[in-house]
Structure 1
Amino acid sequence: MSSEEVFPQPSSSPGGPISREEMYAEVWRLPMTKIADHHRVSSSFLARVCTRMNVPRPQRGHWVKLENGKPSPQPPLPEAGPGDLQVWRRGDTLGAVSLPVPKAPAPRKIRPEQLRISRSRQHPVVVGAYEVFGQGRVIDQGFLKPGKQRLVDVVVTKPQLEPALKLANQLFLKLEAAGHRVMFAPSDRTYARASFDEHEHPPKKPRHRHPALWSPSKPTVVFVGTVAIGLTLFEMTEELEARYIDGEYIPTSKIPSQQLRRLSSSWNWSTRMDFATGRLCIRAFCPYPGADWAQSWKETKQSSLRGQLDDIVQQLTDAAPVIVRLVEEAEEQARIRQQEWKEQMRRLEERERIRRQSEARDQARSDLLAVIKQWDDIKRIQAFFSDVESSVSDLPEAVRCIAMDKLAQARELVGELDALKALLEWRGPRDRL
């Protein structure tokens, strides 16, 4: 039996537009290759479209199972979330689209029982991160710098990698349990990762760090309603007195006192250096350009962040209206700046128009005076030639021939004498704009 007899034709128009609901219906009714051929795109590109639409696709072997009478579950279409594409047509880019100002949900108190999670479950944002981070190179203070950038926003040393990812996983699962979606920032608008100072007690004057700490290509965000809040988990550093021993700096507090006494008489020196503390910090920030908001939760020697996660979830939920207000203010300021810029451009263009008009008028006047002077020269030359011609007639034949020959040479040398042509070639002020 041919594929045409087994599968019907897609119901959508070739190339779209096709809604999210229609795409979901088609990918569970027909193989991806058949839908892709219908829309004249590759099946891999259509898979990207489904990802942008947040449309679940059949797993490998789905159609074979159905053909053999075996069950293959079909998950429901999830509700559209922030950044999900609603309608697609062939030729559309899968990049940013204009979205309204985010809206926060109604304030609510999250009950502790809502935040119970499975300790064995891994959040999709964290899956596979341990292996990639573990293979990264180690930079100053032991921080990991993986080669891949599309990773969960975690900046730690190798000893703290596993605890940090476990903490991030628990936080993300609790946020999801509270109804907030955690993901890599979508492409529906600009989401910027805020910079941070990894010092436990940041110095008054920011320090330039080289090499720079690792940073992801897309921030990790949680959506409270449609409000995005960026999340970074990093290991803090502290400044300690250190001694240079065997090619490396070691905190003086970690050098045994007996060894320290021996060092005091040998060739070495002490300085102050930054060292990773092993303590973590969760930092939330506003990823919308122009809106400045951030909040941090730090581990201390007496308390870990694990016991604060429920409170952090509640505080992030409560922060959404604050961020919305800041975004509205930032967008209003951006709108005002845009209007001011347009007004400034209008004034510059008006000044330029007046300048060009004045310049054209001055140049036209100068050229007209040159035409008039040329007309005056023509009149004088013509009067000269006329006077010569009238005087030649009284000369003897031989002299008259010489005079007429020289007159002809003079006319040829001067060229055409046409004042009207010079005026017609003159460009007035309006012709110059």
Structure 2
Amino acid sequence: MQLTRLELYKRVCDRPLSKVAPELGISGTVLAAICKRYQIPYPGSGYWTRKSLGLPAELPTLPEASDETIEIMPSVAKPRKKRTLEEGSVRKPKPDAKLRRPARHPLLFGVEEHLRKTRDVKNGEFLRPYKRILPDLVSSETALLRALSTANDLYLALDEQGYRVHIAQAADNLHRIHVREQEVERKDRRYGRDHSGSIWAPDRPTVFYIDKVPIGLALTEMTERVTMRYLNGDYHREDSSLIRSAKSWQLTHSWTTEQDMPCGRFRIVAYSPKKGVDWSVSWQETEQQLLGTLIPRIVETLRASKNNLRRLMDAEDAAEAKRKREREEEWARYERREDARKTAQALTDSRQQLAEIIERWGRAMTVERFFADAEERLKNTNDERRQRLEERLTLARAMMESVDPLDFIEGWVAPEERHRPKFL
């Protein structure tokens, strides 16, 4: 199609580019490029808005130029080449995407910083962080990096098997068991000053699920019994460099004692976080075998424990249902006993109140007979004395209560008003 500059100018000033372009067989973008090339101004969107509202709007003027003919070629869509059946069935093979194991488990992001923000601890004791919603890791400061590395390897190994390790939600009603920290179990415990130091524990357990069976995980550094020497106001390990380098005269007024101190070796404890299910298994490292080498065996053992754990959980559910039923039955018996006791007490109280009312009425009637006899005797006295005594009798009678039996019985409370029996 051929148009002069003036003809194209009139067209783009009469209607928007989006309306003119389809008539010319081109897109609005191509038409705008042609107008720019041949210096043909066209109104913008603001012009058409004002015009639709009936407001005055100015058209751009056509600059002076040769009124040459513009050749506009409609754009022709290229036909899409159809694939043959053989070409469509053959696809380019995609390179195998190698799944990379993440360097750090998501649960452990930022955990080191929180664990180091700890309450005051003596040299070598376990960290006691302020934050309580953390992965179940108990470690001293010197062994913290090893604890995080071991936990990371364990969590990632479980994740690779499809068991997501996470911190239990409060609504899950799962509980952390007491984790024993002694490497060699002893009858006495001597951790901390005065042998009564507390060890930090998270508020919620770290768990993963095999199907619907929850399993709790705890990683704790173990303690060993060591000799501690008191020097310069504090206790230090007997084999520490401070004690070994001390002079003999510095040790004159020192003494030794035994304490449980973190040893740098770790124990993994898996347990059932469901209340009432007594199941746990642990693995601990030695000087010859590190805990990281046991992780594949740990994962396999936990996977094989699913059926046993499910049986224990089902048995606990049945036992809990039985205990609940027994509690409900005991509560029903208690309510019946209380109802019978309150019914009997209400009857006793009503009888006692009625007896007291009758006794009060009897005393009131005695007083009433006294006044009646006094009034009868006044009739036989002289006028002066009768007038004086009548005033006193009036004052005395005003002090006394009513002798109407209905007034007395109106305040009585019947047994059914005191307590309505729930059981017949």
Normalised by the length of structure 1, the TM-score is 0.64
Query: Letter of the aligned partner of 1:312 in structure 2?
Result: I
Select 2:103's aligned residue among 121, 132, 147.
Answer: 121
2:271 corresponds, among 265, 285, 301, to 285
Residue 198, structure 1, aligned to residue 178, structure 2: no
- The separation in 2 between residues aligned to 1:391 and 1:236, in whole angstroms, is 106
Unaligned runs of 5+ in 1: 1-115
> For the structure 1 residues 224 and 407, does the alpha-carbon distance in structure 2 shift closer, same or farther, using more than 3 Å as the test?
same
1:123-143: CA deviation from partner (whole Å, max 9, x where unpaired) = 111222234334545624342
CA RMSD of aligned residues (A): 3.2
- Find the counterpart in structure 1 of residue 112 from structure 2: 130
| Counterpart amino acid of residue 166 in structure 2 | M
More off after superposition, 412-421 vs 194-203: 412-421
Per-residue Cα deviation, 1:363-414 (whole angstroms, up to 9, x for no partner): 2222212222233334333433333444443444444434444443343233
Instruction: Tell me: CA distance 1:258–1:350, structure 2 relative to 1, closer, same or farther (3 Å).
Output: closer
Q: 1:228-239, aligned counterparts within 5 Å?
A: 228-239=214-225
Q: Tell which deviates more after alignment, 350-359 or 298-307.
A: 350-359
| Counterpart residue identity of residue 132, structure 1 | H
Instruction: Give the match for residue 71 of structure 1.
Output: none
Where does residue 22 of structure 2 map in the other structure? Answer: none
- 164-173 or 132-141: which moved more? 132-141
CA contact (8 A) 1:117 1:177 kept: no
Residue 207 (structure 1) shift: 5.3
Compared with structure 1, are the counterparts of its residues 388 and 134 closer, same or farther at alpha carbon in structure 2 (3 Å cutoff)? closer
User: Which residue in 1 is equivalent to 2:372?
Assistant: 386
Q: Is 1:408 aligned to residue 397 of structure 2?
A: no
**Cα distance 1:421–1:177, how it changes in 2: closer, same or farther (>3 A)?**
same
Determine whether 1:217 maps to 2:203.
yes
Contact 2:191-2:259 within 8 A present in 1 as well: no
Change (3 A) 1:257 1:212: closer
After superposition, residues 237-256 of structure 1 pair within 5 angstroms as 237-245=223-231, 249-252=235-238
Shift of 1:306: 1.7
Q: CA deviation at 1:281?
A: 1.0
Preserved contact between residue 191 and residue 261 of structure 2 (Cα < 8 Å): no
- Of all paired residues, the percent bearing the same amino acid is 30
CA drift of 1:242 comes to 3.5
| Deviation readout 1:182-209 (Å, 9 max, x if unpaired) | 1111233212122222110122245575
Q: What are the superposed Cα offsets for residues 211-231 of structure 1, whole Å, 9 maximum, x if unpaired? A: 522322322111111211111
2:298 is aligned with 1:312: yes
Partner of 2:146: 163
Q: Does 1:173 align with 2:166?
A: no
Deviating more after overlay: 285-294 vs 410-419: 410-419
Shift in Å at residue 256 of structure 1? 11
Larger radius of gyration: 2
Confirm or deny: 8 A CA contact 2:364 2:401 kept in the other structure.
Answer: no
Shift of residue 429, structure 1, vs aligned partner: 1.8
SS in 2 for 1:159: coil
> Deviations 1:24-60 (Å, cap 9, x if unpaired)?
xxxxxxxxxxxxxxxxxxxxxxxxxxxxxxxxxxxxx
Q: Which has the bigger relative contact order, CA under 8 A and spacing at least 6?
A: 1
- Label 1:396 to 1:201 Cα distance change in 2 as closer, same or farther (>3 A): same
Task: Out of 372-381 and 219-228, give the one that drifted further.
Answer: 372-381
- Once the two structures are superposed, the pairs formed by residues 24-103 of structure 1 within 5 Å of their partners are none
> Structure 1: which amino acid aligns with 2:322?
I
Q: CA deviation at 1:303?
A: 0.9
Determine whether 1:144 maps to 2:127.
yes
Change (3 A) 1:382 1:135: closer
